[in-house]
Structure 1
Amino acid sequence: MQQFTEESRTPTAARNKLRARGVRAALAAVLAAGALMTSQTVTAHGADNPYERGPAPTQSSIEASRGPYAVSQTSVSSLSASGFGGGTIYYPTTTSDGTFGAVVISPGFTAYESSIAWLGPRLASQGFVVFTIDTLTTLDQPDSRGRQLLAALDHLTQRSTVRGRVDATRLGVMGHSMGGGGTLEAAKSRPSLQAAIPLTGWNTDKTWPEIQTPTLIVGADGDTVAPVSSHSEPFYQSLPSSLNKAYLELNGASHFTPNSSNTTIAKYSISWLKRFIDNDTRYEQFLCPLPRPSLTIEEYRGNCPHTG
């Protein structure tokens, strides 16, 4: 007796319907497997680096005026501060992502916290605890500002009301002008720091071969207060050749460009802090290959690829 399958006994339209159903089932299985693989890949990537915070970055996300995190802030009175002049702490509001890396930022000569305050919420919204500080006096020199940056880090991690939100092993320093010179002093004094970013820095000391902290030097082509030829460039050139380091010279900028919101400063600061405080290699793409000259970049130097 001749055997018939269900398909052979079914009219053409019905057979086509069965085939379509089979294709859909196979496609669903493939998609499910792909989703599982993607899930496993993300989980594995996160497990490789538990310090990653926030979604995968894009060019637009690092240039945005605000990142993915909502930000809160709290003031630190000069009366409760020891070794520095008080300031403002900006931090991601969420507690679901665990602790965050942190950075303290110093103003420059004769300046107050307000001159660098724009960096607080901008960096914090990308997933950092940020402490913008006042110095003990507006006339403090770089060596004093370096000590004050470290005192503020100690306050942040040991005494502040948000100390539980900070990973005390993942810290960095930034500063403008004499605060930039102080940034180099702080990195020299505390090699355990993960990142340093002097912004149009000023210091009578031009050589920094002792620094072991990944350092991004930011200069300005039109700086007449701390000209790059006698400050930022020699600072950069004196850093160890084996160090993760970079030199960003802003185009059409002055000594005081870091005192107001600036997308180029922000995007490369965010990328540097993410890469070295959080060890987040997702941000390597914005640092290597080296950025090319543009309307906002006069010059960019560095060693690529980065290590560690």
Structure 2
Amino acid sequence: MTALIALVTAIGLALTPLTAAAPPAAAADLLSQGKPATSSSTENGSIPASAAVDGDTGTRWSSTLQGNGIPAPTTASLEATNGPLTTATYTVPRPVGYGSGTVTYPTTGGSYPGVVLMPGYQGTQQNLQWLAPRLASWGFVVINVGTNTLTDDPASRGRQISAAGTQLLALGNATGNPIAGKVNGTLGAVGHSMGGGGVMAALRDDPRFRAGVPTAPYYPNANFSSVADPTFFLTCESDPVAHGNSYAVPWYNSMSRAEKLYIEVPGDHLCPMTGYGDKAKQGKWIVSFLSLWLRADTRFRPFLCGPVRDGDKNNPSLVTRWMDTCPF
């Protein structure tokens, strides 16, 4: 027995060098780490192309197409009544801080920026109803609101925009409703007349709103020089109520820190409302502006800056005044 134990021990010692773990190989250097990186689009500003090569396994880059399936826009697709995504609607059961709300949202998977639509004086959800499905079908969760009263002033409409944004985010974070998980936390707003003044108030006072489109905006004696978020003013050449020279142009000129777009088109004060104006062009500009600034989707930039947009900009029957801070 002693001899057998000795033999087993000897064999074990002889095999030890053969079974010892080899030292780990050195990790290969990541040649791209820290190098400049660009992409045609990013899903949102928190996941830029540089995150793909920063060496941090906790960060990532995602393109717009990977994130929500939105194809590259064309002039024809942007001027169509609806975009590439299917949509559905949901009535907010208990509005908080505003009168009523109808949410139009993409039925596809993924999360999207939220956009609040605010009507003007004596207006209802019908004012901007044309825009809700158009925006939603291009990848936005849109809440079209009615005000507490038809005569609410611009300051009140600004507060109601904020309230509607708060509830939209809450619905996106809750369960048991069709927009659960669909709102990514980024907010924008579009408003008409006093609702346009409300958009400016929301951009000035509520940092959650990252871009806005005030159309024929009205807000007497207001100062918006502190607004630094991208803003698209859409005004009407023959507007007797809120002509661009009275409100939008002075605001545009005072906003020294913001990326800005100003387009004046033929028509009176109603030109941005449902049933008035050239909705193919207006829709193309609004969708492109919000896609660029709320989703950081640079594929929409050519329709606002550069040769692609020049056919619109230089057509006096379509545009009577155009100003911008391009290139942006």
Pick the TM interval, shorter chain.
0.7 to 0.9
Q: 2 CA distance for matches of 1:266 and 1:85?
A: 26
Matched, 1:123 2:135: yes
- SS of 2:320's equivalent? strand
Equivalent residue for 1:186? Answer: 202
Pick one of 276, 286, 289 that aligns with 2:293.
276
Equivalent residue for 2:261? Answer: 246
Shift of 1:163: 3.8
Shift of 1:288: 0.9
Pick one of 139, 145, 159 that aligns with 2:151.
139
> Percent of pairs identical after alignment?
34
One-letter amino acid matched to 1:108: G
Pick one of 293, 301, 305 that aligns with 2:314.
293
Matched, 1:302 2:314: no
Q: 1 CA distance for matches of 2:180 and 2:164?
A: 12
Q: 2 CA distance for matches of 1:184 and 1:44?
A: 28
The 1:69/1:211 distance shift into structure 2, 3 A limit, reads same
Q: 1 CA distance for matches of 2:296 and 2:184?
A: 13
Shift of 1:293: 3.1
Shift of 1:200: 0.4
The answer to which of 195-204 and 288-297 deviates more is 288-297
Shift of 1:299: 1.3
Q: 2 CA distance for matches of 1:220 and 1:236?
A: 15
Aligned 8 A contact 1:245 1:303 in 2: yes
Q: Residue deviations 1:127-156, cap 9 Å, x none?
A: 111110001001000010000001001101
The answer to which of 119-128 and 159-168 deviates more is 159-168
- SS of 1:257's equivalent? coil
Aligned 8 A contact 2:239 2:267 in 1: yes
Q: How does 1:66-105 map to 2 (within 5 A)?
A: 66-77=82-93, 80-95=94-109, 98-105=110-117
Pick one of 161, 166, 184 that aligns with 2:183.
166
Q: 1 CA distance for matches of 2:40 and 2:243?
A: 47
One-letter amino acid matched to 1:247: Y
Matched, 1:264 2:276: no
Q: CA RMSD in A?
A: 2.0
Equivalent residue for 1:197? Answer: 213
Q: 1 CA distance for matches of 2:137 and 2:260?
A: 25
- SS of 2:282's equivalent? helix
Q: 2 CA distance for matches of 1:44 and 1:111?
A: 37
Shift of 1:164: 1.4
Equivalent residue for 1:212? Answer: 228
Aligned 8 A contact 1:206 1:238 in 2: no
The answer to which of 48-57 and 120-129 deviates more is 48-57
Q: 2 CA distance for matches of 1:303 and 1:43?
A: 21
Q: 2 CA distance for matches of 1:137 and 1:193?
A: 23
Q: 2 CA distance for matches of 1:126 and 1:206?
A: 33
Q: 2 CA distance for matches of 1:218 and 1:44?
A: 26
Name the TM-score, length of structure 1 as normaliser: 0.79
Contiguous gaps of at least 5 residues in structure 2: 1-37, 50-60
Name the TM-score, length of structure 2 as normaliser: 0.75
Aligned 8 A contact 1:207 1:239 in 2: no
Aligned 8 A contact 1:191 1:211 in 2: no
Aligned 8 A contact 2:101 2:143 in 1: yes
Pick one of 193, 201, 217 that aligns with 1:177.
193
Q: 2 CA distance for matches of 1:44 and 1:188?
A: 28
Rg larger for: 2
Pick one of 228, 234, 247 that aligns with 2:244.
228
Q: How does 1:6-155 map to 2 (within 5 A)?
A: 48=49, 50=62, 52=64, 53=68, 54-77=70-93, 80-95=94-109, 98-155=110-167
One-letter amino acid matched to 1:82: V
Equivalent residue for 2:55? Answer: none
Aligned 8 A contact 2:118 2:146 in 1: yes
Aligned 8 A contact 1:89 1:132 in 2: yes
Aligned 8 A contact 1:120 1:132 in 2: yes
Q: 1 CA distance for matches of 2:206 and 2:260?
A: 17
Contiguous gaps of at least 5 residues in structure 1: 1-40
Q: 1 CA distance for matches of 2:98 and 2:42?
A: 39
Aligned 8 A contact 2:236 2:268 in 1: yes
Q: 2 CA distance for matches of 1:43 and 1:304?
A: 18
- SS of 2:209's equivalent? coil
